[in-house]
Amino acid sequence: MKKELPIVPAIFPMPVVLIATYNEDGSIDVMNAAWCTAYDYKQIKLNLSEEHMTMKNIRRNKAFTVTMADKSHINEADYFGIVSSNKVKDKFERTHLKAHKSEKINAPILDDFPLCMECVLDEEEPVGYGVIGNIVRLSVEESCLDESGKVNPSKLEALIYDPFRHGYYVVGEKVGNAFSDGRKIK
């Protein structure tokens, strides 16, 4: 029997991503967000509210990076979600993380994290909450690749967010094969 619960966005797991942009003065802004999803084959969608500095920066720069947060940097990733760049101007510097400017877009790449998508703004939804970005470059640390050159999710140690208990978990065990295991029923 199912029990009725208070409404939460019960999409689990939610990826923990770090959205990085440049502020007007050239300093780095990073925001933790779980409201990110694949929108198309080479596009991602972010849901950001108007008051975020990150949203203002995306509009101005027309570019941003999306980095998968990882287990090694859980404290920094969480910090980026609980501290606002509107209030703490040197938010990124306080973490002592490293970054460099993308060669393709006007946005920073966070050096300490294993996977990064460099994106240009494609579209903004009229209400101002949805941002669609075209992925122009995907890079990953070689240590996170398997023997065939594909990303091994367990090596990324990517964080996922639990909206029920507000916990972070790590992606890990492979339990099946997509586009294959269902053939057993055919």
CA 15 to chain centre: 7
Cα distance between residue 47 and residue 37, in whole Å: 9
* Contact indicator for 47, 130 with CB cutoff of 8 Å: yes
Cα 98 versus chain centre, distance: 17
The CA-based angle 122-127-129, given to 5 degrees, is 65
pTM of whole model > 0.85?
yes
* Beta-sheet strands, E only, within the chain: 14-15, 17-22, 28-33, 36-40, 43-47, 63-68, 99-101, 108-110, 115-124, 130-140, 159-162, 167-170
pLDDT, tens digit, for every residue of 83-131? 999 999 899 999 999 999 999 999 999 999 999 999 999 998 876 578 9
Query: Is there a contact between 118 and 137 (Cβ–Cβ < 8 Å)?
Result: yes
* Structural domains present in the chain: 14-184 (2.30.110.10)
pLDDT one-digit tens code per residue, 130-158:
899 999 999 999 999 999 999 998 999 99
